[in-house]
Structure 1
Amino acid sequence: MSLALLKQVLFPWQEAIRFFPDEKPLRDSYDVVVIGAGGHGLATAYYLIRDHGIKDIAVLEQGYIGGGNTGRNTTIIRSNYLTPEGVRFYDESVKLYQDLSDDLDINLFYSTRGHFTLAHSDSALRTMRWRAEVNKHFGIDSEVWNRDQIAKDVPFLDLDCGGEHPILGALYHAPGALARHDAVAWGYGRAAAQRGAEIHQKTRVTGIKTSGGAVTGVETNRGSIATNQVVSCVAGSTPRITKMLDIETPLEIYSLQACVTEPLKPFLDRIIVSGSLHVYISQSSRGELVMGASLDPAPLHSTRSTFDFTEGMADMLLDLFPFVGDVKLVRQWAGMADMTPDFAPIMGLTPVDGFFINGGWGTYGFKATPISGKTLAYTIANGRAHPLIEPYALERFANLSLVGEKGAASVGH
């Protein structure tokens, strides 16, 4: 029993300490307005205060804290990307994650597991070798393993995949990890609120006001707010926000589904990913199998889940772990993945002065949470892009300076 719970039992007349401060009335002006109280938005607010001393911040959320993609992902953290830009960016995020529980004073259940990306063909194996060399060049712990090494490390894995898609090798990324997604959002939210940021749930942005090409305020379902700095951190809702400013992006929104099973006795301490089979799987600290597949085949602004997803994913899962055929699924869900043509995010300044964008995360958003917030806070405070996100500028699509991160997708899209 925790000390806080014991205190509540022994002294029930004392008011319990709230995890979040009481919500304050929405004021009519703030220095910075962050749209979206998911991991990225709350991390941005936190680092604005901690690193740059900017405290007059309102975080506006149309639903509830962490109720968007932050609460709908499969919690994988890694930095084994293909491009130098991606490797540097996500490696800094992994480093921040490793100390984040202490930083935010909350148990994130961060667990280093090791991450396998399976290769089922010669071409896939060549890509794994390519990624391994890029990773090693930047000091990232990644290497290609053969079948014997995989068999020894993951004895329950069927390397022949039922004879349909035999595994030829894999990229093994030792720092691959898992963390509680809701705890990340709550931790950043509490830390930001304790330092002065205001978080306003059930507050939907309905318009953004400008004058002379610069932001002057936002309209919400609860009234108008004057501000000259607005940050969009809304994942699959990004096109709705950018449309308010007539900013064009190449984003397309797809549903990305996942599910969990009933708890099982622990047997899988690694993260297993197969881009060829369109499936990834890990086992949670409670014993559930957490599983996902590729994007739905057509653009859709929806978080509905389907039987087609479950059927297709289960078929491929049984090729990898045939003994789980009788295991029951407990829950399935979907998020809205905002995809760019080069599978890399859009971050930083925009043509509208004072409006900053953070989107295009596709399937990568959760693992980028700390570094996304930190670099975006720097960009807002200094009026120029942080060096780590310069390659992710919106303008790259106009000048054809694409990043090309598709080869590092966890699942084939």
Structure 2
Amino acid sequence: MTRPADSTDVAIIGAGNIGIAVAYYLVVNHGVKRIVLLDSGDPMALTSAQSGENYRNWWPHPFMTAFTDYAINLLEDIARASGNRIHMTRRGYALATRRSTPEDLLADLHRGYGVRATSLIRTHESSGAGRYRPATSSDWKAAPDGVDVLLDRALIQEHFPGLAPDIGAILHVRRAGNISAQQLGQFMLESIRAAGGQVRRARVTAIDRDAAFTLTVREKDGTASLRADRVVNAAGPFFTEVAAMLGETLPVSCIYQQKIAFEDRARAIPRTLPFTIDLDGQMLLWTDEERALLSSEAEGSILLETMPGGIHQRPEAGDEGSWITLGWAYNATASDPASEPPIDPNFPDVVLRGASRLNPALQTYLGRLPRGARHYGGYYAMTPENWPLIGPMHTPGAFMAGALSGFGIMSATATGALCAAWIAGAAQPDYAPAFTLGRYNDQALMAELKENATKSIL
């Protein structure tokens, strides 16, 4: 039985951090209060629940740097307004390589920061003079901006003694750290509900368009209809499915990436370590027996090849915590988010082997992860160039906020604010059109993005 339709100004499909952020900025920036958030599960229960909860303001392209700088400004506003309920910290990102003169990385730094690069990039080529200030505090208000480039092995070992001695350079991005994704979402939800916005547990199964939109939704007690003047596709891994209901095709695929988290009983990772990424590719070391076994498996054979860079490690739960997280987004095979997650049983061993190259003390956990270790993952919804899609869809009155592969939580606030501005017809920053479908008509920009696509997955 289908119940009669009710109505709203804006229906947002997806109640993860992105959909919530769109609703939040519609309320606080534009006074739109008749909003319904629709999700088949609880708010923030799918991709948002698997977030790495990291943020940074440097990217190899100035548009993405400006975008995430804006996102961090908004996060800081929320941290101040809430008494730092979102647990914002700032120890930075430490990007490590064994190359002593990584000219391409330095060029990317300058390109990403643009005209500000000269004032923001500080190079340290010796251990003397004490110019480099390590992250002695996790207080986001006390951290410097910019990036410190460490090009001296003695200096690196002085301040990062747990890292392998062959690390030749570290790019310490300072306006970077982590937050609580759940607390961020809850803070925004409270403002949405206080303004009269609703969250409904319902799965959208069809969208019809006439003078307005009619959404068919399946709830626990039957099927209902919802009329909406405008619709927002913020469906995360189901981004393309919702687009198809509008008769549209988006250049987005879903790739499942995994992490492990466990109690660091051996204290292999210092609690003060920034979020640290090994930029270098590597060949994993296997015994002859292990190589034979892996070569016999379709999914295992990739582990015998040169693996990409990007393996990362981070202490969890602040200075007083005891857990660590390791991740490595090396999977490149798209999969259907409606199917069972393609959990790879080899992943914990693989990521430990890879991370041990950067931090040798992690070898103590090979083959003996502590009891209670978590092996989990989430879908990266991504365009081929790995830039987001934010703004109007082809269908009049329909908008989108998604394809935020690997950088959803760090850009949630800016994504919400930009999408809300598009909906309200408000002014946008100069870079906003580059995040719409219109960028595919800009051949020069697309050539740039094709060249730099893999650099966005850190």
TM-score normalised according to structure 1 size: 0.85
C-alpha separation in 2, matches of 1:386 and 1:333: 37
The answer as to 2:311 corresponding to 1:282 is no
Stretch deviating more after TM superposition (218-227 or 277-286): 277-286
Paired position in structure 1 for 2:141: none
Percentage identity across paired residues of the two chains:
19
Aligned-partner residue type, residue 283 of structure 1: P
| C-alpha distance 120-27 of structure 1, shift in aligned 2 (>3 A) | farther
**Any idea what the Cα deviations from partners look like across 1:295-316, whole Å, max 9, x if unmatched?**
4231112434222222221111
Paired position in structure 2 for 1:229: 230
Alignment of 1:12-411 (within 5 A): 28-104=6-82, 107-121=85-99, 125-139=102-116, 141-146=146-151, 147-160=153-166, 167-201=167-201, 203-211=202-210, 215-222=212-219, 223-264=224-265, 265=267, 267-269=270-272, 270-276=274-280, 277-284=309-316, 285=318, 286-302=321-337, 303-327=341-365, 328=369, 330-382=373-425, 387-400=430-443, 401-402=445-446, 404=449, 405-406=452-453, 408-411=455-458
**Any idea what the Cα deviations from partners look like across 1:138-166, whole Å, max 9, x if unmatched?**
54502422133322221111133xxxxxx
Kept in 2, the 8 Å contact 1:255–1:301? The answer is no
SS at 1:221 equivalent: strand
- CA drift of 1:121 comes to 4.3
TM-align CA RMSD: 2.3
| C-alpha distance 159-184 of structure 1, shift in aligned 2 (>3 A) | farther
Kept in 2, the 8 Å contact 1:275–1:410? The answer is no
C-alpha separation in 2, matches of 1:130 and 1:229: 43
| C-alpha distance 122-245 of structure 1, shift in aligned 2 (>3 A) | farther
- CA drift of 1:104 comes to 4.6
- CA drift of 1:252 comes to 1.4
Stretch deviating more after TM superposition (25-34 or 300-309): 25-34
- CA drift of 1:322 comes to 1.8
SS at 1:199 equivalent: strand
Aligned-partner residue type, residue 236 of structure 1: P
- CA drift of 1:231 comes to 0.6
- CA drift of 1:86 comes to 0.6
| C-alpha distance 39-77 of structure 1, shift in aligned 2 (>3 A) | same
- CA drift of 1:45 comes to 0.7
Paired position in structure 2 for 1:4: none
| C-alpha distance 92-263 of structure 1, shift in aligned 2 (>3 A) | same
Kept in 2, the 8 Å contact 1:80–1:408? The answer is no
Aligned-partner residue type, residue 95 of structure 1: N
- CA drift of 1:89 comes to 0.5
**Any idea what the Cα deviations from partners look like across 1:293-344, whole Å, max 9, x if unmatched?**
1142311124342222222211111111222233435101111111112111
C-alpha separation in 2, matches of 1:354 and 1:183: 31
**Any idea what the Cα deviations from partners look like across 1:205-256, whole Å, max 9, x if unmatched?**
1111113xx7522111031110120111122110111111121211111001
Stretch deviating more after TM superposition (191-200 or 399-408): 399-408
Paired position in structure 2 for 1:6: none
C-alpha separation in 2, matches of 1:217 and 1:104: 37
Kept in 2, the 8 Å contact 1:347–1:356? The answer is yes
| C-alpha distance 252-407 of structure 1, shift in aligned 2 (>3 A) | closer
SS at 1:156 equivalent: coil
Kept in 1, the 8 Å contact 2:433–2:439? The answer is no
Stretch deviating more after TM superposition (295-304 or 371-380): 295-304
C-alpha separation in 1, matches of 2:271 and 2:104: 25
TM-score normalised according to structure 2 size: 0.77
C-alpha separation in 2, matches of 1:339 and 1:237: 11
Question: Gaps (5+ residues) in structure 2?
Answer: 121-145, 281-308
C-alpha separation in 1, matches of 2:330 and 2:186: 27
SS at 2:187 equivalent: helix
Aligned-partner residue type, residue 312 of structure 1: V
Aligned-partner residue type, residue 144 of structure 1: V
Question: Gaps (5+ residues) in structure 1?
Answer: 1-24, 161-166
Aligned length: 377
Kept in 1, the 8 Å contact 2:212–2:227? The answer is no
Paired position in structure 2 for 1:164: none
C-alpha separation in 2, matches of 1:121 and 1:191: 48
**Any idea what the Cα deviations from partners look like across 1:26-52, whole Å, max 9, x if unmatched?**
971000001111111111111111111
Kept in 1, the 8 Å contact 2:353–2:363? The answer is no
C-alpha separation in 2, matches of 1:179 and 1:134: 27
| C-alpha distance 287-135 of structure 1, shift in aligned 2 (>3 A) | farther
Kept in 2, the 8 Å contact 1:90–1:367? The answer is yes
